[in-house]
Amino acid sequence: MGASISAGMIVDVLLPSVLFLIGVIVVFLYSRLDKKVDQLLGGQELHLKHIILLVVAMGTMVTVLLAIPEHALLGIFLFAYTAILFLFTFLFVPKWYLAVVPPVLFILSFLYFWNIFLFNFFAIIFGIGISVYLGNLFTWKTTAAFATLLTIMDIIQVLITKDMIKSFNRVLELGLPAFIELPMFPSVGGFSRLGLGDVFFFGLLSIQTTRKYGRKFGLASIATMAIVFFLFQTFLLNSTIQSFPGTVFIVSGWLTALAARHLYNLFISKKEVKPQMD
Would residue 153 count as lying in a domain? yes
Closest by CA to 8, choosing from 182, 243, 238, 242, is: 238
Total number of domains in the chain? 1
Would residue 275 count as lying in a domain? no
Per-residue pLDDT tens digits for 51-108: 999 999 999 999 998 999 999 999 999 999 999 999 999 999 999 999 999 999 999 9
Per-residue pLDDT tens digits for 132-150: 999 989 999 999 999 999 9
Q: Cβ contacts of residue 222 below 8 Å, gap of 6+? A: 20, 23, 24, 27, 206
Does 246 have pLDDT greater than 80?
A: yes
| Residue 114 belongs to domain spanning | 2-269
SS (H, E, C) the chain: CEEECCCCCCCECHHHHHHHHHHHHHHHHHHHHHHHHHHHCCCCCCCHHHHHHHHHHHHHHHHHCCCCCHHHHHHHHHHHHHHHHHHHHHHHCCCHHHHCHHHHHHHHHHHHCCCHHHHHHHHHHHHHHHHHHHHHHCCHHHHHHHHHHHHHHHHHHHHHCCHHHHHHHHHHHHCCCCEEEEECCECCCCEEEEEHHHHHHHHHHHHHHHHHHCHHHHHHHHHHHHHHHHHHHHHHHCCCCCECCHHHHHHHHHHHHHHHHHHHHHHHHHHHHHHHHC
Would residue 278 count as lying in a domain? no
Does 127 have pLDDT greater than 90?
A: yes
Task: Report the sign of the C-alpha dihedral through residues 165, 170, 173, 175, in that order.
Answer: negative
**What is the band of 5 on the pLDDT scale with cuts at 50, 70, 90?**
very low
Does 2 have pLDDT greater than 70?
A: no
Would residue 18 count as lying in a domain? yes
**What is the band of 274 on the pLDDT scale with cuts at 50, 70, 90?**
low
- What's the pLDDT at 272? 74
C-alpha 250/C-alpha 205 separation (Å) is 9
- Please give the model's pTM, rounded to 2 decimal places: 0.93
In degrees and rounded to multiples of 5, residue 170 shows phi and psi of -65, -45
Closest by CA to 34, choosing from 91, 104, 95, is: 91
Mean pLDDT over 189-202 rounds to 94
**What is the band of 128 on the pLDDT scale with cuts at 50, 70, 90?**
very high
Would residue 110 count as lying in a domain? yes
Would residue 274 count as lying in a domain? no
C-alpha 27/C-alpha 223 separation (Å) is 13
**What is the band of 275 on the pLDDT scale with cuts at 50, 70, 90?**
low
Closest by CA to 201, choosing from 137, 135, 123, 140, is: 135
C-alpha 28/C-alpha 184 separation (Å) is 27
Would residue 67 count as lying in a domain? yes
Per-residue pLDDT tens digits for 149-165: 999 999 999 999 999 99
Would residue 147 count as lying in a domain? yes
Higher pLDDT, 274 or 106: 106
Above pLDDT 90, what percent of the chain? 83
